[in-house]
Amino acid sequence: MISNFKTKIVLALGIFLINIASLLAQAHSYNTDESTIALEGYSPVSYIEQGKAQLGKKSYKATYNGLTYFFVNQEQQTKFKSNPQKYIPQYGGWCAYAVSKGYKYRPNPKSFRVVDNKLYLFTVNVEADFVKAWEKEGKHKHITQADKNWKSMNKFKSI
């Protein structure tokens, strides 16, 4: 009976540790919910190559760093799989303007800019359109500051 109890404890502990390791393996700094669907289902390839936000299809998907990305077609899926770093959004998909200010805000996937073949997303709400502020104040200044902030930000704090 004790052996059976010990076995159950060891199994439970093992499952717990595997779950914790899985969570830690995923970058908690990504802008996603528990579904782990990146970009709210929008295709990262469409942003970079077509300059527009297009919803992907569930039949064309790929997983990278624990997140699932959807694509418009198989060609996009293949391109992503061959070089995912080229297509993933900067700063874990958080609002680029907010990161430059030291915060993490959830962006609107339709508010974006591609600069030097990198995808930047932005928050849009009733108080502000962050992409406009980012451009008005100087996008390269904000990119430099966001790059610096991203290296040292508390990756678990988000708003």
Distance CA 44, CA 98 (A): 20
Residues 79 and 101 reside in one and the same domain: no
Residues 101 and 158 reside in one and the same domain: yes
What are 129-153's pLDDT values in tens digits?
A: 898 999 999 999 999 999 999 988 8
Q: What pTM was computed for the model? A: 0.78
Q: How many other CB atoms are there within 10 angstroms of residue 134's CB atom?
A: 23
Residue 103 neighbours by CB under 8 Å, 6+ apart:
95, 159
Distance CA 90, CA 123 (A): 14
Question: What integer pLDDT is reported at residue 4 of this predicted model?
Answer: 59
Distance CA 53, CA 39 (A): 10
Confidence of residue 27 (pLDDT cuts 50, 70, 90): very low
**Final residue in a domain of this structure, among 58, 88, 118:** 88
Closest residue by Cα to residue 150 from 99, 116, 78, 108: 99
Distance CA 121, CA 98 (A): 10
Domains: count for the chain: 2
Mean pLDDT, residues 8-17? 41
**Final residue in a domain of this structure, among 61, 88, 115:** 88
Closest residue by Cα to residue 43 from 51, 35, 32: 51
Closest residue by Cα to residue 47 from 4, 87, 13: 87
Containing structural domain, residue 136 = 89-159
Is 125 inside a domain boundary? yes
**Final residue in a domain of this structure, among 69, 88, 107:** 88
Is 5 inside a domain boundary? no
Is 149 inside a domain boundary? yes
Is 15 inside a domain boundary? no
Residues 98 and 75 reside in one and the same domain: no
Instruction: Report yes or no: 93 and 30 within 8 Å, Cβ to Cβ.
Output: yes
Closest residue by Cα to residue 63 from 103, 123, 22, 10: 22
